[in-house]
Amino acid sequence: MIIKQNNFDEKKKKIELLKSTATLLFPESCNIKFKDINTLEVLFSKEKYPVLGIHIQCFDNPKLNTENSIKEYLIDDDQLDLKLKRKKDTFYLNYEIKVDNEKLVVYKVLSFLKPRSFRLIRFALTWPDSQEAKKIIDPILETLSIIVSSVKFNTLRTVYDEVASLDYKISSARLISYDFWKIIKLKMPSKWKVELSKEDDFVNICMDSKENFYFLMERFFINLNKNLMSEKNNNDKLVENLIKEITKEVNIKNAKFKKSEDNNYLFYFIATEKDPSDSDKIISSKIWYRIKVLEEKILIISFVFELASNIEIKNQIYLEKLNQIIDSSEIIV
């Protein structure tokens, strides 16, 4: 792999990724667009093609503890015989392949931050495999090599390194099965603290007290009166009407409704409300309802998780885990 050390022939502009987790330099003439916090698209002229895609990822992986394991991680195709270059704790890999009538060049730059944190930036560029395209692409490939050589990683841990560590801990956590009220079973990380109310009608679960991450679980029943009994033979309609009633005064978005084969229902959404102590602040919470229609009553188990962090990706990590836990929970009545 050839990393060019010469400067750009024009002014450079610096782009910071994930709040200075990594920085890159680009020619001033490049048109750079953030697709999301992790992804950039770069155009080298006014033309809309070719497009350079750049993606950054922070992650923890204690198994990447040798150069061979890192090389195996970086190579998508084990048929490729590639050399891994290393400069201190930064690893470089690049290759070019032909896919149908197009060529693809990929650069990967991996930074290792002890003891087990990594930052990976992937550069990918495709173009038609033709002589006409070659004239355009050759100077772009030269510029791309310089852009790759400009990558600088923060020598200190950033908030996104911390988030990556959190993601690893949650995804690899040992799970314990809990049986609440002899009604519902959930499997949750063993380090989450379960606090039952004195009345035993709700449960407060602390995921991280330092970061103020909690979720509340509550159970309640609705007796089937005459009006509701008239809909007893149509459980779907009964549950839909119930949901409309209990959410009629709630501002909701991204609502989803699921039904299992054994007539268990799951309804979830994001609820928003003004903060009572600060009218300019909006409080957002994810709410789930697990519902089952019994002979003479309806069982409802609610789960509430406030999106309390200012770092949205932290909220999303916990949300993803809670989605898994609640979706796979088992109602046992």
Verify that 152 and 295 share a domain, yes or no: no
pTM equals 0.80
The predicted model gives 104-128 an average pLDDT of 95
166 inside domain: no
**Mean pLDDT to the nearest integer, 261-272:** 87
Domain's final residue, options 157, 189, 217:
157
Confidence grade of residue 7 (pLDDT, cut at 50, 70, 90):
very low
With pLDDT > 70 as the criterion, what percentage of the chain qualifies? 92
Tell me, what's the pLDDT at 2? 38
pLDDT tens for each residue of 156-167? 999 999 999 999
Where among 95, 123, 157 does a domain terminate?
Answer: 157
Is residue 219 assigned to a domain? yes
For 233-255, the pLDDT digits (tens) are 678 888 888 899 889 888 999 99
Let me know whether 39 and 144 are in one domain: yes
The proportion of the chain whose per-residue pLDDT surpasses 90, expressed as a percent, equals: 59
14-22 mean pLDDT: 94
- Answer whether residue 132 shows pLDDT above 80: yes
On whether residue 87 sits in a domain, the answer given is yes
Do 97 and 201 reside in the same domain of the chain?
Answer: no
Same domain? 53 vs 133: yes
Length of the chain: 333
Instruction: Decide which of 103, 122, 157 is a domain's last residue.
Output: 157
Cα 72 from Cα 201, distance rounded (Å): 51
257 and 114, same domain (yes or no) = no
Q: Is residue 245 domain-shared with residue 322, that is, in the same domain?
A: yes
Residue 11 — pLDDT band, cuts 50, 70, 90?
A: confident
User: What does the angle CA 11 – CA 13 – CA 17 come to, to the nearest 5 degrees?
Assistant: 160
Mean pLDDT, the chain, integer: 88
What pLDDT is attached to residue 313?
86
- The continuous run of DSSP H or E covering 70 comes out as helix 67-74
Q: Determine which helix (DSSP H) or strand (DSSP E) holds 146, and give its type and residue range.
A: helix 131-149
Model pLDDT for residues 194-238, shown as the tens digit of each residue: 998 877 788 999 998 887 899 999 999 988 775 555 555 678 888
Both 94 and 149 in one domain: the answer is yes
Answer yes or no: do 86 and 195 share one domain: no
The whole-number pLDDT of residue 270 equals 95
For residues 82 and 68, give the distance between their C-alpha atoms in angstroms, rounded to a whole number.
12
Check residue 16 and give its pLDDT: 96
pLDDT higher than 70, residue 5 = no
Identity of the residue numbered 194 = V
In a domain, 27, yes or no: yes
What's the rounded mean pLDDT across residues 43-59?
Answer: 91
165, part of any domain: no
Kindly indicate the confidence band of residue 177, based on its pLDDT and cuts at 50, 70 and 90: very high
- Find the domain containing 65 and state its range: 12-157
Query: For residue 4, what pLDDT band results from cuts at 50, 70 and 90?
Result: very low
Cβ contacts of 169 within 8 Å, gap of 6 or more: 60
281: pLDDT strictly greater than 60: yes
168 inside domain: no
- Of 44-58, 78-92, 107-121, 227-241, the poorest mean pLDDT is in 227-241
Per the structure, the count of domains in the chain is 2
Same domain, 187 and 224: yes
Compute the distance between CA of residue 256 and CA of residue 271 in angstroms, rounded to an integer. Answer: 13
Mean per-residue pLDDT, 145-150: 95
Task: Indicate which CATH number applies to the domain containing 264.
Answer: 3.40.1000.10
Residue 8's pLDDT is what?
A: 53
The answer to whether residues 177 and 326 belong to one domain is yes
d(Cα 309, Cα 213) in Å, to the nearest integer? 8
Query: Does residue 162 belong to any structural domain of this protein?
Result: no
Residue 6 falls inside a structural domain: no
Looking at the structure, tell me whether residues 178 and 312 fall in a common domain.
Answer: yes
Tell me: do 141 and 20 sit in the same domain: yes
CA separation for the pair 333, 240 (Å, rounded): 21
